[in-house]
């Protein structure tokens, strides 16, 4: 090979080498820059050691450093039901059937909203943080629902059940430190799990409504009769008080007349006795029927037509 050709080959080799080196450097520099959007955090590590956590922006890292991004937005998942391909919610019999405090079975579904609270803990404190979250949610849901009756879990107790579950989950997630926290949890639906239980539950509800209706009617009757009874009682008391006062007044008058008569008796005993006798006879004789007989009469004939009034006294004589 000629010396001129050798020189050309050497120049080409140098050019290719520098080109490759330049391309490697360019690629390395390009891969050393990374961006973080507002919905994520970036965890930078170096030889397995965490260097820093970056929020939104553009950053530079050394080629030997690695970056892992964590989505910090809110996510949602269903508990107790499975979404079918057609978008319909299907009951998850393994996780959706709960037992209540009054030992009834209840099919209750929840929708859990959660987000990453600590990107480092999310990446390195658990292999499957979402799976741990699912287990924590199920455990706390079963515990809380078991504290309520089936009626409360289906009606008035839903709000308190949601609040109790959220509080218990937040506390346990803080203890586990898997980098996730609960944003909200809501009851989607709650119903008895089988048709037979649904029918029994409806019967119980109907009976309760009937009991409530009967109780309301009883209270209405009570509210109607009590005022009437109180009014009658007041009238009886008033009448009794009136009779009492009349009797007392009459007794006091008789006592006053007796005292007055006794005072006269002390002054004129004989005259007072006669006056009392005459007044008594005057009151008795007008209503007295007098029959005169010799004691041997066998038959008594009415002689009212022959009676005559003498000094206000009616005498009737009957004989054989």
**Portion of the chain with pLDDT greater than 70, in percent:** 75
pLDDT at 10: 62
Q: For residue range 171-202, what is the model confidence (pLDDT) as tens digits?
A: 999 999 999 999 999 998 887 776 766 677 67
pLDDT tens digits for range 29-82: 556 788 899 999 999 999 889 999 999 888 888 888 889 999 999 999 988 887
- The pLDDT value given to residue 18: 64
Please state the domain extents for the chain.
Answer: 3-71, 75-193, 195-275, 289-317
pLDDT at residue 196, as a whole number:
66
Concatenating the DSSP letter of every residue in the chain gives: --HHHHHHHHHHHHHHHHHHHHHHHHHHHHHHEEEE-TTEEEEEEETTEEEEEE-SEEEE--TTEEEEEEE-S-EEEEESEEE-TTS-EEE-HHHHEEE-TTS-EEEEEEEEEEEES-HHHHHHS-S-HHHHHHHHHHHHHHHHHTTS-HHHHHTTTHHHHHHHHHHHHHHHHHHHT-SEEEEEEEEEEEE-SSHHHHHHHHHHHHHHHHHHHHHHHHHHHHHHHHHHHHHHHHHHHHHHHHHHHHHHHHHHHHHHHHHHHHHHHHH-HHHHHHHHHHHHHHHHGGGPPEEE--S--S-----GGG-EEETTEEEEE---
Task: Identify the CATH number of the domain defined by range 75-193.
Answer: 3.30.479.30
Please give the pLDDT value at position 314: 46
One digit per residue, the tens of pLDDT, for the chain of length 320 reads 556 565 666 666 666 666 676 666 666 655 678 889 999 999 999 988 999 999 988 888 888 888 999 999 999 998 888 776 776 666 676 778 888 898 888 888 899 999 999 999 999 999 999 999 999 999 999 999 999 998 888 888 999 999 999 999 999 999 999 999 999 999 988 877 767 666 776 787 788 888 888 999 998 888 888 888 888 899 999 999 999 999 999 898 888 888 888 887 788 888 878 888 878 877 777 776 666 666 666 555 554 544 444 444 444 444 33
Q: How far apart are CA 143 and CA 105, in angstroms?
A: 14
Q: Find tokens 């809110």 and name the residue.
A: 74
């Amino acid at each position: 090979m000629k010396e001129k050709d050798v020189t050309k080959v050497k120049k080409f080799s140098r050019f290719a080498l520098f080109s490759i080196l330049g391309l490697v450097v360019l690629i390395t520099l390009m891969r050393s820059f990374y961006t973080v959007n507002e919905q994520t955090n970036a965890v930078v590590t170096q030889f397995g050691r965490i260097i820093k956590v970056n929020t939104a922006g553009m950053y530079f890292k050394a080629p030997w450093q690695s970056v892992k991004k964590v989505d910090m937005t809110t996510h949602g998942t269903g508990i107790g039901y499975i979404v079918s391909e057609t978008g319909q919610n299907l009951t998850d019999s393994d996780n959706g059937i709960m037992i209540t405090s009054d030992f009834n079975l209840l099919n209750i579904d929840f929708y859990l909203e959660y987000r990453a609270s600590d990107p480092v803990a999310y990446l390195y404190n658990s292999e499957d943080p979402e799976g741990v979250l699912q287990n924590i949610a199920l455990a706390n849901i079963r515990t809380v629902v078991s504290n309520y009756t089936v009626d409360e879990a289906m009606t008035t107790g839903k709000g308190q059940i949601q609040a109790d579950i959220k509080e218990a989950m937040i506390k346990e997630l803080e203890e586990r430190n898997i980098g996730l926290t609960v944003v909200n949890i809501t009851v989607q639906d709650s119903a008895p799990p089988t048709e037979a239980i649904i029918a029994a539950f409806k019967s119980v509800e109907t009976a309760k409504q009937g009991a409530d209706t009967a109780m309301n009617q009883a209270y209405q009757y009570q509210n109607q009769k009590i005022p009437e009874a109180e009014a009658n009682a007041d009238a009886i008391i008033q009448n009794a008080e009136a009779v009492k006062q009349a009797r007392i007044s009459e007794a006091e008058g008789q006592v006053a007349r007796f005292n007055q008569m006794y005072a006269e008796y002390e002054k004129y005993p004989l005259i007072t006795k006669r006056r009392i006798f005459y007044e008594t006879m005057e009151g008795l004789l007008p209503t007295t029927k007098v029959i005169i007989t010799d004691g041997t009469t066998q038959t008594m004939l009415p002689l009212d037509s022959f009676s005559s009034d003498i000094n206000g006294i009616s005498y009737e004589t009957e004989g054989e």
